[in-house]
Structures are given as structure tokens and as C-alpha cells.
Chains A and B, each alone.
Chain A
């Protein structure tokens, strides 16, 4: 009996390893189907509804902020010198998110020398987190070679952060991916709210709309496996969530038109806030950011 059991296990092990090694199981095929990478025979029959969570990237936020005529100052960025202070993986992930948003802003505002310097910082923190192969020396060399081409730098930064998020999740470090996304969003709002006294109506509106993004970010990080560190980060962001309560939202129907193959989605909800609400968002964001940078 025991011998049979062991034989079965060895057979199963061998089968599994062969399937893994070949890039997919070679199970039965239906007519016309070619099973290639990304498909296999299912072991379940029960239907499921998979809910994905995501949030706009700091690059997207930086781009709309720049369009409002907002200012950029290197003085507002997190000091590159501080990167070596972070020795635990949660602090490294949080500050990787912060430096990543700084990098996105510098790139969008075409501060290319700053972009290259912050890409180095991002590389060092990524190395510490064990995902350094995403930003290897080839990526840095490509960025250096394209330092005057904003579109190339934007693509390099976005691809790198996509890969890092993917890699953290694949390594079973979903909580670190959540920290990276949340702190990146926070830093992008911090940079958008540095000159609130001079903010025009356009910028105020864009910041008010970030209420929706804040909700996306909170839903995303809450959907991840909650480590004590991620739960701590979520709790520490509560003052920012509270400050966004002062933003008012009026529902509206969407208005769809078409232009050159793309659809234009107008209408929808509208957002507004008072100057006091803007100041309180700016203060709450700065306080939480300062805590995260310690």
C-alpha cells in the first residue's frame, strides 16, 4: 500500500515538473485549440467573479497637474540622500513609492537631470527589496542615453514600476506592492498641493477630483493581504481620507460623443471644494508624508 502510494507521488511529482518545465500541461485538446503559454486544462468547474483593483499612477496625476500650469520645485522632493536610512522592507517599499512619484513629476516637468538622479535612488531601493533586476544597469544606461527625450523617460519609468508591482505580487509580497502604490499616490498629491495659495481653479478642480483616486487607492490596499505594516499604513492615512470628506460631489449623467475613432466621455460627476478644504487636504497630506519618511 505504502509502496503504491509512493509510486503515485513520484508519478505526480514527475508529471508536474514535466508540465512546469514545458511551459504548460499537454492535456487533452479540443478541436482546433492549440494550448500554448497562458492556457491549460482547468481543475475547477465553479464559476467565479474576479474583481481587479487599480489606481491611476503618479505619472498620470503629474501630467494633469502640469497642464494646469502648476509649479515644480526640486526643493519639494524627498531628499535623495535619505534613501539609505530605510532598512526594513516596509519602509523601503513606502519610500520607493515616494521616490517613484518624485521621479514621475521630475520627468513630466522635464527636469531630466533630476529624473536620472531619482532613477538611481529608485534602483537602490529596488535592489534592497530584491526586485533590482527590474531596473538594472541596462535600464539606467537607456535612460541616460534618452535623457533629453521625455517620452522615452516616461516609458522607462512606467514600465519599471509596472514590472516592480508585478514582481512584488509574484514574490508573495502583495502588501509591499500596496505600500508602494499608496505612498506614491500620497506623494503625488503632496507635490500638487505645495502652492495652494496660488492654485488656479483648474488645479483646485483636479485636486478635488483626486477624492475618487483616493477611494481607488484605499480600496486597492484594503483588498491585499493585510500585514501589520500595511494595516498600519492604511490607519496612518485616515487624516487624509477625512480631509477629502470636505470635497463635494454632484452626480451627473455621462455624455458620449465620438471623435476620430475614440469616444469622448463627458458629463459625469462634478467635484468642488472650498479654499479651507484645500488647505486642510494639503496639511493632512504633508503630515502623513512626514510620518512615512521617518
Chain B
């Protein structure tokens, strides 16, 4: 067996292991979201989109979405405790910040009088720790009449 073939075989195996590892992270994130985040939407009907990602300190996530008139909404930002207190703010179409979770809240309840696209910005705080942990962050949407 040539050295080249052995290297290729090993590279393929490594890629397979890394893919398995990434898939495991994603699966963990889905389970985390279902167990820890969906309950925050209690009383609201969840939107059909699934918005979750594995983030590290210093990462940001953004969601832009149209909210329809005469509807009550709850937007929940849920993150794994290993990431610390994530910052979460809401900007309108003109990029004006209309709310932030300075009180540490994990959700915002609001009602629209007309349709408007809002931007939800989530920032994972930086850390000085030598070891960087990654954790799941989810932005979930619920609505009701």
C-alpha cells in the first residue's frame, strides 16, 4: 500500500470523524432548544422556522423578520449557560434600537400595529478564560391572537 493511499484513507477517516462530531453538536443543539427554549414560548404558537447555532464568546447572531399587524408576538433568545449572559436587542427598519435586554430578560413580548421588519441582534459576551466553550443559541418566535 502506497504512502499516498494511506494518507488519503486516514484523511477520509478524519473527515468522517469530524463530520460525526459536528453532527453531534447540531443534534445536541436541537435537543437543547427543544428542552430549554421552547417552554419559554408557553401560551404562544411557535413559528415554523428553527433558528439555532453553536456559538462561542464574541460571536454574534442576527435574525431579520417581518412581523404582521394586530398580532401578539413573543421572541425568545435562549442560550446555554456556559456562554454567560447574552446581550439581545431589537432594531427597527431604520436601524433605531427599540429595546434591549438590559434587565437580563430572555424574551420580549410585543404587538405590531402594522407590518414591519425588525432585526434581533444577539451577542455572546467575550471571555478571558483560557478555554473557549461553545454553546447553543436559539432565537424562537411565537405568536397569538
Binding site for B on A (CB under 8 A): 2, 5, 9, 12-13, 16-17, 19-20, 23-24, 27-28, 30, 33-42, 44-45, 47-57, 59-61, 63-64, 67, 154-155, 158-159, 161-162, 165-166, 169-170, 181, 206, 209, 212-213, 215-216, 219-220, 251, 253-254, 256, 259, 261-271
Contact = CB atoms under 8 A, between A and B. Distances in A.
B84 to A, nearest CB: 10
B40 interface: no
Given A44-B56, A45-B132, A56 B67 contact: yes
A165 B117 contact: no
B86 interface: no
B13 A20 contact: no
A30 B10 contact: no
A269 B29 contact: no
A181 B111 CA distance: 24
B66 A166 contact: no
Dominant secondary structure of chain B at its interface with chain A: mixed
Contacts of A42: 56, 132-134
Q: Which 8 A-B pairs have the closest CB atoms?
A: A38-B32, A209-B115, A268-B116, A54-B49, A42-B134, A38-B136, A52-B51, A262-B109
A161 B61 CA distance: 24
Given A37-B28, A61-B68, A254-B93, 18 more contacts: A5-B10, A37-B31, A38-B33, A39-B81, A39-B133, A42-B132, A45-B132, A50-B55, A51-B64, A56-B47, A59-B48, A60-B71, A165-B49, A170-B30, A256-B99, A263-B98, A265-B98, A268-B115
A254 B70 CA distance: 15
Interface SS, A side = mixed
A292 to B, nearest CB: 19
Contact of A49 (B25, B62, B117, B133): B62
B113 A266 contact: yes
B54 to A, nearest CB: 8
Interface in B78-130: 80-83, 92-94, 96, 98-99, 108-118, 129
A54 B51 contact: yes
A253 B80 contact: no
Contact of A41 (B28, B115, B131): B131
B70 A64 contact: yes
